[in-house]
Amino acid sequence: MLKTKAKYQTWIRMYKLLIFLGISLILLLITVLPVPFYLRVLSGVLALPILYITFILSYSVYQFAAFGGNYQSKIHDLLVAKVNGDGKGKILDIGTGSGSLIIKLAKTFPKSFLTGIDYWGGNWEYSKAQCQQNAEIEGVSERISFLKASASDLPFHDDEFDSIVSCLTFHEVKDSKNKTEVMKEALRVLKPGGEFVFLDLFMDEKIFGDEKELLNDLKKHGVSELNSSKLAKEMKLPKLLLNKKVLGNAMVLSGRK
């Protein structure tokens, strides 16, 4: 029997939250056990940063989830609003997760045909089957196809899509150290004149390098129009979500090839 309500996971992996929670509880437990004093002090000191991380993760889950601040859906709405095409062509979503963004696109552009790719599996809590089920529940499954693939090696021809979107995916690609090359792979399958909307931690130099160099590199790669803006300027976010380990380094890049 088909579920009546789609289920979308947040960007925070619950297993990671549970690991930090478990470590925190163990360290706190040691502080009250009849063990040498220095061990109790050491456990208390070690517990503090773990507790902080646990709090940030828990708070982020609450703010991203529909039962909380619903910011994950709001951010997807922002990206959908930046797609300016007529919606009659082919749209690619890179890193489709549990299908939230691509399904919003399908509903917004009822004459479009969409493809969602993701690596799924591993330590992620998303799946292709979940995406397909969510698309069926939302009534858009006939126009969406889901494929398991890496963003670093897309199984598509050059110039195949009219629009490409990606949300917080490029930095997660493990099989390519150079994230700019992953972005170029996305642009490879975009038609000349086609539009793209990318959200990622583009201001994190450890991942994407110098921001100006990144933008110049994309322009040299055939991008005819490029706009960049901090996510925090695009929409009001809770202060703790602006932690650099969450969305503090998030930026939206949009434009045309």
Tokens (6 digits) for 235 = 């929409």
Per residue in 58-110, pLDDT (tens digit) is 999 999 999 999 999 999 999 999 998 777 799 999 999 999 999 999 999 99
> Has residue 104 been placed in a domain?
yes
Selection from 149, 211, 139 nearest residue 182 by Cα: 149
In this structure, the answer to whether residues 103 and 38 fall within a common structural domain is no
**Residue 134 above 70 pLDDT?**
yes
Of all residues in the chain, the percent with pLDDT exceeding 70 is 98
How confident is the model at residue 253, as a pLDDT? 96
**Residue 123 above 80 pLDDT?**
no
How confident is the model at residue 121, as a pLDDT? 76
In this structure, the answer to whether residues 52 and 119 fall within a common structural domain is no
Cβ distance 193 to 184 under 8 Å? no
State the pLDDT confidence band at 3, using cuts at 50, 70 and 90: low
Number of domains into which the chain is organized = 2
In this structure, the answer to whether residues 152 and 251 fall within a common structural domain is yes
C-alpha 38, offset from chain centre: 42
How confident is the model at residue 126, as a pLDDT? 85
CATH code of residue 155 = 3.40.50.150
In this structure, the answer to whether residues 204 and 234 fall within a common structural domain is yes
Per residue in 198-215, pLDDT (tens digit) is 999 999 999 999 989 999
Domain end call among 64, 83, 101: 64
| Domain around 82 | 71-256
How confident is the model at residue 7, as a pLDDT? 86
How confident is the model at residue 244, as a pLDDT? 86
In this structure, the answer to whether residues 141 and 229 fall within a common structural domain is yes
**Residue 124 above 80 pLDDT?**
no
How confident is the model at residue 74, as a pLDDT? 96
How confident is the model at residue 9, as a pLDDT? 85
State the pLDDT confidence band at 139, using cuts at 50, 70 and 90: very high
In this structure, the answer to whether residues 26 and 101 fall within a common structural domain is no
Domain end call among 64, 92, 123: 64
In this structure, the answer to whether residues 83 and 167 fall within a common structural domain is yes
Sheet holding 161-167, edge to edge: 144-148, 113-118, 90-94, 161-167, 190-200, 251-256, 225-230
**Residue 1 above 60 pLDDT?**
no
Domain end call among 64, 99, 122: 64
Q: According to DSSP H, which parts of the chain are helical?
A: 14-30, 37-64, 71-81, 100-108, 128-137, 179-188, 205-208, 211-220, 231-234
Per residue in 16-62, pLDDT (tens digit) is 888 988 998 998 899 888 989 888 889 989 999 999 999 999 999 99
**CA 98 – CA 122 distance, rounded (Å):** 14
In this structure, the answer to whether residues 161 and 44 fall within a common structural domain is no
Selection from 203, 14, 8 nearest residue 100 by Cα: 8
How confident is the model at residue 2, as a pLDDT? 54
How confident is the model at residue 15, as a pLDDT? 80
How confident is the model at residue 220, as a pLDDT? 86
**CA 166 – CA 110 distance, rounded (Å):** 20
Q: Which amino acid is at 92?
A: L
> Has residue 184 been placed in a domain?
yes
Per residue in 145-187, pLDDT (tens digit) is 999 999 999 999 999 999 999 999 999 998 888 999 999 999 9
> Has residue 129 been placed in a domain?
yes
